[in-house]
Every structure is written in structure tokens, then in C-alpha cells.
Amino acid sequence: MVTPELNPVERAEHIGGADLHYWVYRDERVEAGVPVGTGVPAVSVPAVPLDPAGAVDGAGAADGVDTVLMVHGLRGTHHGLELVAAGLPDHRVVIPDLPGFGDSGPMTGRRHDVAGYAHVITELIERLGGRDRPIVLVGHSFGSIVAARVASAAPELVRRLVLINPIATPALRGPRVVLSGLTSAYYTLGRRLPLRAGHSLLSNRWVVLAASRAMTRTKDKQLRGFIDDNHLRYFSRFHSPALVSETFEASVTHTVADHADALRMPTLLIAGESDEIAPLAGQRALAARLADAELVVIPNVGHLVHYETPEPAAEAIQRFLGAP
């Protein structure tokens, strides 16, 4: 599988007690003022630095370009959402590595849970000019819970909300309770072992591959290999077993539904038809609770919409953002 050349600009700031790294993606044709879809080749345009107020240039300006901020899932990094970002060429996309994952350092003075991550994302939105021009907030899996928390607590910062494979039902109840319990024990053991042994356990190649293949639905060997490679490369880029265990516990004890009644902005739910981590029945129940929601179900995919079917997901987002 060939990934698109996105050439994002990496930035690092101290936000919410963490050294946060985030990447700014924007199609060069948009930067150059060339209408997307004209067939004109992309040109290289230097990145514009942050203005003195700390906002990405244009995030709060009347340039007609929305800022789309994406939040990745548990043990993910910004790389996992790049294929969806590639499908949004007429929007500025910003994707951070959540604190403690990828290139971002852990938070100091805050727990690595839904509230802690929501605090960081809220501050990042403000740095991006969200007080002047509300953004589009996208969350995948655990990131959907964080995004919902941000949007419910600070709705003035979020113009529209997109939740991909949203966690709508509790993992510690229902048909997944046994698997969730075993996974929780796995993370607990990793936390209790000496640091090096715990990291080795949670990063074990065969465990990562087993998790990758359990979530993958495609029969395309090349795509399956691409997904496995990405999980092996990025799934173990966490700061410590204690941190990832803390985040895992947050992921199985909270859901988007915790914030459903406070989400009043237009919201797009993108579900995988055969998602066992975020079952479709829960997505339908969540959509029914939200004030202004649309549910798009992508067939023949599970919890890896961002890897297996990024194009249909991006098309749904493009259409949703173009709606009045």
C-alpha cells in the first residue's frame, strides 16, 4: 500500500503540563490558492509559522479554511489518522500525539485519563485560534471519548464533531466483559513488573500482531501487511507501562454516552459494520440520543476504519462539513 506524501509540519509546545508534539497538514494546493480537483499538480509552499498569539496562521482568520483537529485512539499516534487527513485536502488538519504517546512527553500534575487529555486538547484548540474561529473536532476510538468530553465542556470551541469508531457502550459490561477483563489484567501485570520487563510484555511483537489481526477485517494481503507494520512500528511508542495502563483503564470505564446530553453541535458518527470494540448497536443508540447526529455505517470493516476504509470515512467527513 502506498501512503500519500503529506509533508506535514511538526510543532512542539508545552501544553497542559506536557511537551506536546503535533503535526499540521494542509494540501499545498490550498496553500497556493489552487482550487482542489483542478488536476493542477501540488506545489511546495513553505509552512507559515505560528503568529505571536500562538494560533496557526489562518486558524482564526477569514481565509475560508476550517481547522480540523484529530485525536487518535489508545496506543496510537498521529500516524494512524494520516490516511483520513489525506482525504481532506481543502481543510487544515492538525493531529497531536497525545501526552505519553509517540513523540509527546507525559503530563505532569495530571492523570493520563479522559479529563487529563481533554484539558490538553482544549488548550491546544485555544492555541490554534479556536476562541475566534471554532474548529472541527475528530476523535477515533478512545479519542472519541476525549473529543466528546472537550465538546461537551467547551462547546464554544467546537463547530462540528466527528466521531470515528466511537466508544458508545461500556467495555466492562455486555459481551466484551471477559476479553476486557483479561486485557485489563494484562495491563495491570505490565504495570507491576519492573519497568523494562513491563515494557517488554506490553510491546511483545506477537501480542501486538495478534491484536492487529484480531481487529483487521480486510482480506487484502498488502493492506493487512500495511496495518501490521504500522501497529508494530507505533503501537508500542508509549512512555511507560504505568501510563498506558492508566489510559487503558480510562478507555474501558468511560464512553461517549457519558457526554451525550451536552453535545448539541452537529455530530457525525462513522461506524464499522463489524466493529466488536464499538458495536454497531451502541452507535445507533448513541445517535438516537444526540441532538443533531448523523450515523454513517461503513460495510466490511471493524474498528480500523482509519486504516482499512479511510477514503469512505474522509468522503463522509467532507460531505458533513459541506452541509449547511
pLDDT in tens, 70-91: 999 999 999 999 999 999 998 9
Q: Do 15 and 164 share a structural domain?
A: yes
| Beta-sheet strands, E only, within the chain | 9-15, 18-25, 67-71, 92-96, 135-140, 158-164, 267-272, 293-298
Domain assignment of residue 1, yes or no: no
Q: How far apart are CA 123 and CA 14, in angstroms?
A: 10
Inform me whether the pLDDT recorded for 51 exceeds 50. no
The Cβ-side half-sphere exposure at 199, using a 13 Å CA radius, reads 8
As a whole number, the mean pLDDT across the chain is 86
> Could you list the residue range(s) of the whole structural domain that residue 124 is in?
9-32+49-171+247-322
Mean pLDDT of the 235-242 span: 94
Q: What is the dihedral of CA 100, 164, 256, 190, to 10 degrees?
A: -40
pLDDT, one tens digit per residue, over 253-279 is 999 999 999 999 999 999 999 998 999
Inform me whether the pLDDT recorded for 45 exceeds 60. no
* DSSP per residue, 28-82: HHHHTTPPTTS-PPP---PPPPPPTTSPPTTSSSSSS--EEEEE--TT--GGGGH
Q: Do 116 and 57 share a structural domain?
A: yes
What does the pLDDT read at residue 26?
77
Query: In this structure, is the dihedral angle defined by the CA atoms of residues 13, 263, 293 and 306, taken in order, positive or negative?
Result: positive
Closest CA to 272 of 137, 148, 166, 139: 166
Domain assignment of residue 37, yes or no: no
pLDDT, one tens digit per residue, over 277-317 is 999 999 999 999 999 999 999 999 999 999 999 999 999 99
Closest CA to 183 of 228, 145, 214: 214
Mean pLDDT of the 107-133 span: 96
Q: How far apart are CA 29 and CA 213, in angstroms?
A: 37
Inform me whether the pLDDT recorded for 147 exceeds 90. yes
Inform me whether the pLDDT recorded for 61 exceeds 60. no
Inform me whether the pLDDT recorded for 176 exceeds 80. no
Which of these three, 221, 246, 271, is where a domain ends?
A: 246
Domain assignment of residue 260, yes or no: yes
Q: Which of 52-66, 152-166, 214-228 has the lowest mean pLDDT?
A: 52-66
What does the pLDDT read at residue 268?
98
- Beta strands 267-272 and 293-298, pairing class: parallel
Are 124 and 69 a contacting pair, CB within 8 Å? yes
Q: Which of 5-9, 27-31, 159-163, 188-192 has the lowest mean pLDDT?
A: 27-31
Neighbours of 205 (CB within 10 A): 10
Inform me whether the pLDDT recorded for 46 exceeds 90. no
Q: Do 59 and 158 share a structural domain?
A: yes
Closest CA to 321 of 159, 83, 147: 159
CA distances from 68 to 113, 135, 169 (A): 23, 6, 26
Nine cell digits for residue 141:
476510538
Are 75 and 244 a contacting pair, CB within 8 Å? yes
Split into its structural domains, the chain has a count of: 2
Cα angle for residues 288, 91, 259 (degrees, 5° grid): 30
5: pLDDT confidence band, cut at 50, 70 and 90?
low
Q: How far apart are CA 122 and CA 151, in angstroms?
A: 9
Domain assignment of residue 75, yes or no: yes
Which of these three, 208, 227, 246, is where a domain ends?
A: 246
Nine cell digits for residue 216:
483487521
What does the pLDDT read at residue 62?
41
What does the pLDDT read at residue 187?
86
Mean pLDDT of the 5-20 span: 90
What does the pLDDT read at residue 237?
94
Are 148 and 258 a contacting pair, CB within 8 Å? yes
What does the pLDDT read at residue 44?
28
Are 51 and 57 a contacting pair, CB within 8 Å? yes
Mean pLDDT of the 217-222 span: 94
Q: Do 273 and 240 share a structural domain?
A: no
Q: Do 225 and 80 share a structural domain?
A: no
